[in-house]
Structure 1
Amino acid sequence: MSDVWNTLVHGTVAARDVVWDLANVDTVRLGVTGLSGAGKTVFLVSLISNLLALVRGTGAVDSLPRFRKTLTDESGQLRLLDVKIESAGPSRVPRFAFEAFRATLAQPERPAWPVGTDKPAQIVLRLTLKARSTLGRWKDTFLGPRIVRLELFDYPGEWLLDLPLLEQSYQDWSAETLRLLNEEPRAALSVAFRAFLGALSPGAPADDRTAEHGFELYRDALRRCRREAELRWLQPGRFLTPGPWGDVPLHHFFPWTDAPGPLPGTLARQLHERFEAYKREIRETFFEPYFSAFDRQVVLVDVLGALFAGCTAFDDTSRALGRIGASYAKQLSGGWLFGRKIQHVAFVATKADYVDDLQRPHLQAMLEKMVESAPGAHGNALGRSFHFVSSLRCTSDANAPAKDGVVTRVVMGTKLGEEHQRAFYPGIVPAGDVPAVFWTKPFFVLPKLRPPLLQPGDASPVDHINLDSLLVDLIGDAL
């Protein structure tokens, strides 16, 4: 009899827990990405730190005033009761090392920027909120507070470059890629690979060593394009950031257009089959199980870095963002991608503290133009937004000494390796379209500035620019 009773009790408790979760627990899945150098790691450290500090902070600083206003009820009370980092559990995805990254920034002797990541990582915040409606207050009385699980999934932005590739054939992708490789500066940076292609016989037999050697030469050309010319439209994305799988035979293909139809037993057929296998693999291992689960998406962009790298690098970054924007536009307007529709995509210009307060909106306008540079990239304006942000502010605004009665607005910061602040003036940042005359002048060299020293512990806020406005726009409606 006791066994029956225990079974009934445990079954009732389990059923009650299921009902409670259905009534009170919501999950918001937020993908966070950005092309290399955009600042994903620091963005996540700042976001998590400031959310934790919002409810645990001991100081007088309110680091998220706009976000706090969204979470304040009619009586002026904060509806957010608690924020916790949820246990990772038996996840296949590595945990985002928030504590280690924050400790790097909080080193008392000399704070340092954390090393960037090139592999997926995930962390989940558990937000406990009071209900905000009459019905909600009734539920709060009988069922308890509402829980919102904010899943933050960090992944390399280069993987987004494979979204357009999923719709291409090997022949079309090869033709487009080789056309670009024959243009400068790509041509000068891919001499060895193009010489290798020129020596191939159209009827060459399938051979693993030839395929691997061609892959290595092509990958090296992509690496040089990114490192020496700061180009960003570089496919496939896994060739530069392979993730936890590393370089495997699946990657051993390269663009080639000189062979006839892909006859069985030929190198051309081998490359064609590996290209199609690569598309299946990235679809089955990332886009379908992870990307398709995102409710919202943040795409971080170092707009300033692209601008000051010169016209070619800027145009190439615009090409990459335009193609990404076109893929998202289809998703936002029709939900065609993997059978799921992302609700909101936020494109964010980072490092806004490197320019003065009057020019930061220019970064946002420029980013919007870059994203909309490709045909079909306009999409549904209701599902997309543009922002400028500094995740961790390391400058302050100031007026330079007046010259001829005109005050110059500058930012004050400390370069890495130095001890004292000095003024930086990057010049005029164009708002939207970049005029041709801009490229005829010497470019500002973007300095690497020291991060400010963070206070230890997660109850201390992180100084930022505009992060609270981004949070309101991105997840405010879900809270």
Structure 2
Amino acid sequence: MVFTTIADGLARGVEGVSSTVSETFFEPVIRLGVTGLARSGKTVFITSLVANLLDRGRMPQLTAAANGAIRTAYLQPQPDDTIPRFPFEANLAALTGASPRWPEPTSAVSELRLSLKVQPQGMLGALSGPRTIHLDIIDYPGEWLLDLALLDKDYDGWAAEALARLDTRPMGRAFADLAARTDPAAEFDEPLAQRLAESYTAYLQEARAAGYSDCTPGRFLLPGEMAGSPVLTFAPLPPVAAGARTGRGALRREMARRFDAYKREVVKPFFRDHFARIDRQVVLVDALGAIHAGPPALEDLRATLAEILTAFRPGRNSWLSSILGRRVERILFAATKADHLHHAQHARLTGIMEALVRDARSRADFAGARTEAMSIASLRTTVEDTITHEGHPLEVVRGTLLDGGRRAAFYPGELPVDPAVLLAPAREGAPRWLDGDYGAMHFAPAPLTLRRDEGPPHIRLDRAAEFLIGDRLK
């Protein structure tokens, strides 16, 4: 049974509605962008973070929670009435109910405002009294984040990269065959364009399911109301043969036009409208899933993370400043599902995450943004145990399997102390791991019994919060 602090705490709902817009102008606002690459648990991260800020008993490494600076926290109406509200209450009920289940993932942008009454520390703080700080959480699909890099590419460059990736992705053979049979100089034909786009989309869906991270354009995977529109009806095609003439009605030329329209009508407005004031960003990553999928998926993840940071270019001279409006001050890359490992391996997972973003981080840090990599579990679903295997102790985790509901002990394999043991063969194009086999398991959320003033159990969510917002709560 879940105690009333969380379940009944939902009744707190919206508090402080009497605050006027003019008052809000004088209250600090932290705009936190939250996104996640495939299967990283973005919805659970936001739900658990908010629940643990409302009830802070499990947040000792968030300084403002540990020293009592946060006097109270409550939800308020979000400032943008045109954006759907993040369904916090429904998600929390799904995770903490009598029969807990994973909430439905979000497929579009949403927002939530959490307001914190904070007592500044020191003599001046004692004189000034508590102040209100608003945390605006902007939730958006990771698939759309990858589109940011497209703004710096033309159709020729993107098509060449997309077609080259097909050589290392077996699920792309059907589209590769269709593209090879297509004459890019032929007269444009809408049914053919639709077949190409459908085949390319099917390939992207299979690639994402197989553990690959770079699956652009992102709206092909989550089209929403744009499904079937011309702006989503294009695909990469090889260059026109030397000497061939292509008029305005040629197939490849129309594909290039639609690619430019996608950047202009879909990508730019999305980032302009929703990221004009973001100053903190967290990118959630299923690094364990990529390791399980094999070296090609891990290398694809490394390249994708580098491209994300390169696209953000989070310094004062960002080329995206006209879209983002201000520089992103802090970026956290968090490897999720740390509860799938015994704590003895958490440092190794963090080391792998740090190595995955090392090259790009150095550029971001130089540009003035702080970046951090860590391993977390937004909701802890397992307990640790030690079993005897072939006469030797083996450190495992136990949880309830998502399929079938059976309790099981799980050992995913021993991650290397040196991340290069994984990253080197991944960069070299190894098709599989030679010295290890890394498993993956899907666990269901465990039934919870929560004490008063206590949020859902997690691993290092308080450290993530300290890095992302802790400096603004002093």
TM-score normalised by length of structure 2: 0.85
Q: Which residue of 2 aligns with 1:101?
A: 91
Q: Which residue of 2 aligns with 1:218?
A: 200
- 1:59-138 maps to which residues of 2 (within 5 A)? 62-67=57-62, 69-71=63-65, 78-88=68-78, 91-108=81-98, 110-138=99-127
Higher mean Cα deviation, 274-283 or 300-309?
274-283
Q: Which residue of 2 aligns with 1:388?
A: 375
Distance (whole Å) between structure 1 residues aligned to residue 307 and residue 245 of structure 2:
28
Contact 1:120-1:243 within 8 A present in 2 as well: no
Q: Which residue of 2 aligns with 1:9?
A: none
Q: Which residue of 2 aligns with 1:248?
A: 229
Post-superposition offset of 1:418:
5.5
Contact 1:323-1:377 within 8 A present in 2 as well: no
**Corresponding letter in the other structure for 1:390:** A
**Corresponding letter in the other structure for 1:66:** Q
Post-superposition offset of 1:106:
2.2
Contact 2:30-2:279 within 8 A present in 1 as well: yes
1:183-208 per-residue CA deviation (whole Å, 9 max, x = no partner) reads 13x2x423332333233334322333
Distance 1:311 1:284, change over 3 A: closer
Distance (whole Å) between structure 2 residues aligned to residue 237 and residue 410 of structure 1:
36
- 1:116-195 maps to which residues of 2 (within 5 A)? 116-140=105-129, 145-181=130-166, 183-184=167-168, 186=169, 188-195=170-177
- 1:298-447 maps to which residues of 2 (within 5 A)? 298-328=282-312, 330-332=313-315, 334-339=317-322, 340-372=326-358, 379-380=365-366, 383-401=370-388, 407-417=393-403, 421-431=407-417, 432-435=419-422, 436=425, 439-441=433-435, 443-447=437-441
CA RMSD of aligned residues (A): 2.7
Matched, 1:239 2:220: yes
Structure 1: 5+ residue runs without aligned partners? 1-15, 55-61
Structure 2: 5+ residue runs without aligned partners? 1-18
Larger Rg: 1
Distance (whole Å) between structure 2 residues aligned to residue 220 and residue 415 of structure 1:
29
Q: Which residue of 2 aligns with 1:197?
A: 179
Distance (whole Å) between structure 1 residues aligned to residue 433 and residue 461 of structure 2:
31
1:121-167 per-residue CA deviation (whole Å, 9 max, x = no partner) reads 11110111123344444433xxxx31111011111111121122110
* 1:230 aligned to which of 211, 215, 221: 211
Post-superposition offset of 1:415:
1.9
Distance 1:422 1:336, change over 3 A: same
SS of 1:331's partner is coil
Count of matched residue pairs: 440
Distance (whole Å) between structure 2 residues aligned to residue 317 and residue 95 of structure 1:
30
Contact 1:410-1:423 within 8 A present in 2 as well: yes
SS of 2:216's partner is coil
Contact 2:411-2:439 within 8 A present in 1 as well: no
Q: Which residue of 2 aligns with 1:34?
A: 36
Distance 1:248 1:458, change over 3 A: farther
1:90-142 per-residue CA deviation (whole Å, 9 max, x = no partner) reads 6221111111111112221x2111122221111110111123344444433xx
Distance 1:86 1:250, change over 3 A: same
